[in-house]
């Protein structure tokens, strides 16, 4: 088995623990889709803990309403730093607070990541982490970032200019979706 797709199965924290146990034992799974389930931070923490030592994943999708805590972010950063095959990462609808910049910094140098979806739950955030990712990741083709922003323009006063400049320098990005979610 190389793909584990358990989206929309009402999986709770107990189920997430079982998935974590499976991931620790299984060496062939390279794609995991756990969208629209009921596990919370505790469940995601278990799953990300089991991913820390994995290097063979090509796609991961967690589209659940979960706050990415510093512990979960630490596990994700550890995983992302060594996961050389990852091509698609989706943390949409997972509320990433102040930890998003750390995650973005790891992803900007990722050599295979082609598609990234993030939901950032923070009233304001530094656009430079996003522009740095767009400029430095030379294989990224699709980027979707959603979140709550409270600024005079969608991304801050100079953000549209910063975005335009970095997008023009990135020759691989073919799809950019940025929504405030408000």
CATH of the domain at 157: 3.80.10.10
- Report pLDDT digits (tens) over 6-17: 999 999 999 999
CA 60 to chain centre: 8
Q: Which residue has the tokens 């740095």?
A: 132
Decide: pTM greater than 0.75: yes
pLDDT tens digits for range 96-144: 777 878 888 899 888 899 999 988 776 555 677 888 888 888 899 998 8
Number of domains in the chain: 1
Pairing of strands 142-147, 115-120: parallel
| pLDDT tens string 113-122 | 999 998 877 6
Q: Are 142 and 116 a contacting pair, CB within 8 Å? A: yes
Q: What is the 3-state secondary structure (H, E, C) of 125-152?
A: CCHHHHHHHHHHCCCCCEEEEEECCCCC
Range of the domain at 138: 3-179
Q: For the residues 64-83, what does the mean pLDDT come to?
A: 89
Query: In this structure, is the dihedral angle defined by the CA atoms of residues 146, 178, 162 and 131, taken in order, positive or negative?
Result: positive
């Amino acid at each position: 088995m190389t793909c584990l797709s358990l989206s929309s199965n009402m999986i709770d924290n107990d189920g997430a623990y079982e998935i974590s146990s499976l991931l620790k034992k299984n060496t062939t799974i390279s794609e995991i889709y756990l969208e629209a389930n009921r596990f919370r931070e505790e469940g995601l923490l278990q799953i990300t803990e089991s991913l820390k030592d994995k290097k063979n994943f090509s796609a991961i999708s967690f589209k659940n309403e979960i706050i990415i805590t510093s512990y979960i972010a630490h596990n994700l950063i550890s995983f992302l730093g060594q996961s050389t095959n990852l091509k698609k990462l989706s943390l949409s609808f997972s509320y990433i607070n102040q930890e998003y910049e750390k995650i973005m910094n790891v992803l900007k140098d990722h050599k295979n990541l082609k598609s990234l979806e993030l939901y950032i739950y923070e009233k304001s955030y530094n656009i430079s982490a996003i522009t740095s990712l767009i400029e430095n990741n030379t294989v990224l083709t699709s980027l979707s970032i959603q979140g709550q922003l409270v600024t005079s323009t969608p991304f801050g006063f100079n953000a549209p200019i910063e975005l335009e400049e970095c997008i023009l320098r990135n020759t691989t990005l073919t799809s950019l979706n940025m929504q405030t979610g408000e």
